[in-house]
Amino acid sequence: MPSPSIRDHLRAACVLVVCVALLMAGFPGLDFVGPKQRDGWAETARGVAAPLGTAVDGVVLFDRHLRRRIARWVKPVERVFRVSQEFHLYRDGPTRVDRLEVLVDGEVVYRTRDPERAWRAAELGNRRFRPMVATAAQKADAENQRGIARWIITAARQDFPGAAEVVIRSTRTRFGVEEPWVRFSRVARGPEWTVSAVQKEKAP
């Protein structure tokens, strides 16, 4: 059996580095824990028993000084390749739901995760396109807001040639609550079809 070459060793080392980096970016059980909650765990553990407090303090130091620093280095690379290495295995479910809606002449033709309003759902739900749509639904100042708006308006004008107005809006509701409220929106009207600036609404 031939001995491994230098290239084989380098390839194995690169795979190991990538695996460690991705593990640090999405460490199970720590990925979604904020600094306050993490430090609260340590304080509670120290009050229960000294050995337990020492163990949790070690986890806190690992998370603060090693894992989060590596995760910050990895996140920009993840955005380039449109991947996200996160583990949310132990959470108690979402507290809120953000959705993107598209209205053509006042009628909702698309809503995130709504099978009855699924206009262009194949494109908007595409694995590579979906993260940008999600960001546009969550952040009024997202960098991709204008790009998403232009794409949606162009597609709406193709599919609804007689349309006079297209509204793109973000809605939010608490998980399990049916009635959402509009957080912000963009509007475009013919014949110019110029996209307006983001119009923010106050929370109810």
64-95 confidence digits (pLDDT tens): 888 888 888 888 887 777 666 565 555 555 67
Q: What is the mean pLDDT of residues 7-15?
A: 90
Torsion of CA 93, 37, 75, 134, to 10 degrees: 30
Residue 123: what pLDDT?
Answer: 93
Q: What band does 2 get if pLDDT is binned at 50, 70 and 90?
A: low
Distances (CA, A) of 167 to 106, 141, 154: 8, 17, 12
Q: Which H or E run contains 67? A: none
3-class secondary-structure state, position 196: coil
Contact 57, 39 (CB under 8 A): no
Contacts of 187 (CB under 8 A, 6+ apart): 165, 166, 167, 168, 195, 196, 199
d(CA 74, CA 143): 20
15-50 confidence digits (pLDDT tens): 998 888 888 887 777 767 777 777 777 778 777 777
Domain ranges across the chain: 6-81, 96-200
Task: Tell me which amino acid residue 126 is.
Answer: N
DSSP string, 123-182: HHT-TTTHHHHHHHHH-TT-TTHHHHHHHHHHHHHHH-TT--EEEEEEEEEETT-S--EE
**Burial profile 3-19: b = 16 or more Cβ within 10 angstroms, e = fewer:** eeeeeeeeeeeeeeeee
Count the Cβ atoms, other than its own, within 10 Å of residue 75.
12
Residue 43: what pLDDT?
Answer: 79
